[in-house]
Each structure stands twice: as structure tokens, then as C-alpha cells.
Amino acid sequence: MAKRCIILNPWAGRGNAGQRRADIELAMRNADLPFDLITTHARGGATELAYQLIERGYDQIIAVGGDGTINEIVNGIIGFRESNSAGDEQLPALALIPLGTGSDFAKALNDFIPNDIDGAVRRIAAERRHSVDVGRITVEAGSQEVSRYFINGLGMGLDAQVAVESLKLTKLKGFSVYLVAIIRALARYKAQTMTVRFDDYEVRRKLLFASVANGVCQGGGFWITPDARIDDGMLDLCMIDNMRLDQIIRHIPHLMEGTHTQLRQATMGRARHVTVTTGAPIPVATDGEVIATDARRVEVEVLPHTIEILW
């Protein structure tokens, strides 16, 4: 019998996850799935909790929250493996009950339905394991160097500025958070010249943003890399040239539908290794979490088949 523990971020989805705790517990009991449950109390807390659960022998960790919660748990699992030289057979599988504001990573999974607790529990009960890729990022910001892992996506530029602004909007919920954050980001962000090297290619021009993704969707519903696969050993890129404000507004629906890939202002790519340098500092966010606001160099590489998820 699987030894499983739920890590619940009660603040995910602007409090939605915490409010639905009783629903989650009932669904797990109805599915005859024994479980323990712990809650996070601070940003970054799920990383330490995941580390502790592995030490205690859990073989399933269930993330209840949004992409940020998943990201923290992924960093805990990989961090444990690296610090303990643990083989994959010693690491727990990651399961999801996505109740975040955006829950973008889950959109790369089959039969995803937003806020569907019963559907997520059925996926857990099926116990179908599938190995997926993870990205590793190293950011040089000021005098500091930050390294982190992501499972869904990495934004540099305007899309990261949207993440910065969304953190300030504590009274809004759902997609309205991202709409207001986009308006604020457009008013405050200035496109910068970026040099993007990916495998044997190089792009150097003024970009609104450069996104490197494992999943298909970011920003609460923007299908930035619609052809990405989370298990192909590659990362997908989307680079959007600088545009006038009226052009940006006109093309936002294309980003929401994933049809922007045919626009002349969009450059799409696929690579195992990506390096981005910029003369002026830019914001950077991974899986919706801001990790730097003044980055000048970002290096990204794919780690194929690094995490097992319950598919």
C-alpha cells in the first residue's frame, strides 16, 4: 500500500485551496486512499516539507495548490536526490490536486479539468506513473547567483513582470488577477535587447519577453508554447519582438489561443540548453514565482525524465 501525504497550501488560489480542504479529505476517503496531510505556512515551506517526507519514507507526495506549490515540492524532491545521492527508485511520485489561481502545469496532463477534486483523486487512485522532464535555471542578478528547478515554465521580461504585478493583487481572484497584472506590467515594463542562444542558434534583438517552457501554458491561461511536451527531453522557446501597445493588445487573444506562433513577431524554438544575456536588468519568474527582478544572465538546461508524476 502506498504511503502518501498531501502538502496543502491553504493560500493557493487566493484561499480557495484552504477552503476546500474538507472536500479533498472526503474525496480521498471515498476513494479508499489512506493519507496524511500537512499544510504550508510560508513561501518556500513546501520544499522543506517534501524533503522531510522523503526522509520519512513516503512514496507519494500530493501537491494541493498552484504552480508555485508544485514548484516548491519539485525543488524539494530534486534537492533531496542531489544532496543524498538518491536513485530514482528512492524518490516519491508527485501527484496533483490543482487548485491554484492559474494551475498551468496541469493543463499539460490528459483530461485536465480546473478545480476538479474528484477527477484529480481518480488520477491518484489509478497510480499510473510517468516520468517527465524538469528545467534547471541559473540566474545572475546583481552580485548573486540563484539556481532553481522548474517543471512548467520560465518567463523573462514582460511575462515575468506580470508575475511581479500579480503578487501585489491580493484582493482579486481567478483570471482577473492576470488581466489586471498585464495592464500594470504593460505600463511599467520596457522591452530590452536580449541575446538568446539555444543549442546552435542565436537571436539578438529587443524582445518583450523570452519564455522557456516544459509545459504548454503559463500566466493563468496563455498557451505560449502550445506544442511543448513535458516528456520529450526538450524545452520549448517563445520569443516575442517589441511592439507598439496597440499591437500588443491586438495580439493578446492569439497568446491565449496558442495561435501566435504564426505571427511575424514571434520566434519559436526547441532546445536542450538556453542562455539569455541582457544589458539591462530584467525580471525572471519560474512557475509563476518571481526569483529575480534584476537578472542580466540566465542559463537553462533540461533534465530529461527527472520527476515521476501520477499521470
Supply the pLDDT for residue 169: 81
CA distances from 248 to 11, 186, 214, 255, 266 (A): 32, 9, 24, 10, 12
Cα 290 to Cα 2, 8, 118, 167, 191, distances in angstroms: 34, 21, 31, 9, 18
pLDDT-based confidence at 311, cuts 50/70/90?
A: confident
Q: Is residue 271 part of a domain?
A: yes
Is 171 in the same domain as 296? yes
Model pLDDT, residue 220: 81
Residue 309 lies in a domain: no
DSSP bridge partners of 303: 134
Residue 87, pLDDT > 70, answer: no
Half-sphere exposure for 16 (CA within 13 Å, toward CB)? 22
For 274-299, how does the pLDDT look when each residue is reduced to its tens digit (9 = 90+)? Answer: 999 998 999 999 998 899 999 999 99
Residue 296 makes CB contacts below 8 A (sequence gap 6+) with 140, 141, 277, 278, 279, 280, 281, 282
Do 138 and 49 have their domain in common? no
Residue where a domain terminates, one of 127, 148, 179: 127
Same domain, yes or no: 69 and 204: no
Cell matching residue 231? 516528456
Q: Give me the mean pLDDT over the 128-145 stretch.
A: 94
Q: Are 210 and 269 in contact (CB under 8 A)?
A: no
Q: Mean pLDDT over residues 1-17, rounded?
A: 90
* Domain end position, chosen among 127, 145, 170: 127
240 three-state secondary structure: strand
Write the single-letter amino acid at 184: R
pLDDT at 283: 95
- pLDDT score recorded for residue 13: 82
State yes or no: pLDDT of 140 exceeds 90. Answer: yes
pLDDT attached to residue 88? 60
Both 138 and 245 in one domain: the answer is yes
Stretch 23-34: mean pLDDT: 97
pLDDT score at 177:
81
Name every residue whose Cβ is closer than 8 Å to that of residue 36 and which is 6 or more positions away in sequence: 4, 5, 6
Q: What is the residue range of 188's domain?
A: 134-304
Same domain, 153 and 80: no
Judge whether 140 and 296 are in contact, CB under 8 Å: yes
Residues 6+ apart with CB under 8 A from 74: 94, 134, 149, 150, 151, 307
Please tell me whether residues 118 and 150 are part of one structural domain: no
Q: What is the pTM (predicted TM-score) of this model? A: 0.93
Cell numbers for 52: 522531510
Please give the share of the chain, as a percent, with pLDDT higher than 90.
76
Q: For residue 221, what pLDDT is reported?
A: 85
Q: What is the mean pLDDT of the chain?
A: 92
Structural domain contains residue 8: yes
Q: Is residue 16 part of a domain?
A: yes
160-179: per-residue pLDDT in tens? 999 889 878 877 777 778 78
- Cβ(237)–Cβ(198) under 8 Å? yes
User: For 180, which DSSP code?
Assistant: H
At residue 64, the pLDDT reads 97
The mean pLDDT of 131-154, rounded to a whole number, is: 95
Q: What average pLDDT score do residues 117-135 get?
A: 95
pLDDT value of position 172: 75
Average pLDDT for 217-222: 88
Tell whether the model's pLDDT for residue 44 goes beyond 90.
no
Q: Are residue 138 and residue 64 in the same domain, yes or no?
A: no
Unique residue bearing C-alpha cell 504564426: 262
CB atoms within 10 A of CB 300: 23
219 pLDDT higher than 80: yes
- Provide the domain count of the chain: 2
Task: Say whether both 149 and 121 belong to one domain.
Answer: no
- Confidence at residue 7, expressed as pLDDT on a 0 to 100 scale: 98
In this structure, what CATH number is given to the domain that contains residue 299? 2.60.200.40
User: From the CB of residue 192, how many other CB atoms can be counted at a distance below 10 Å?
Assistant: 20
* pLDDT at position 132: 97
For 88-106, the pLDDT digits (tens) are 657 999 999 999 888 899 9
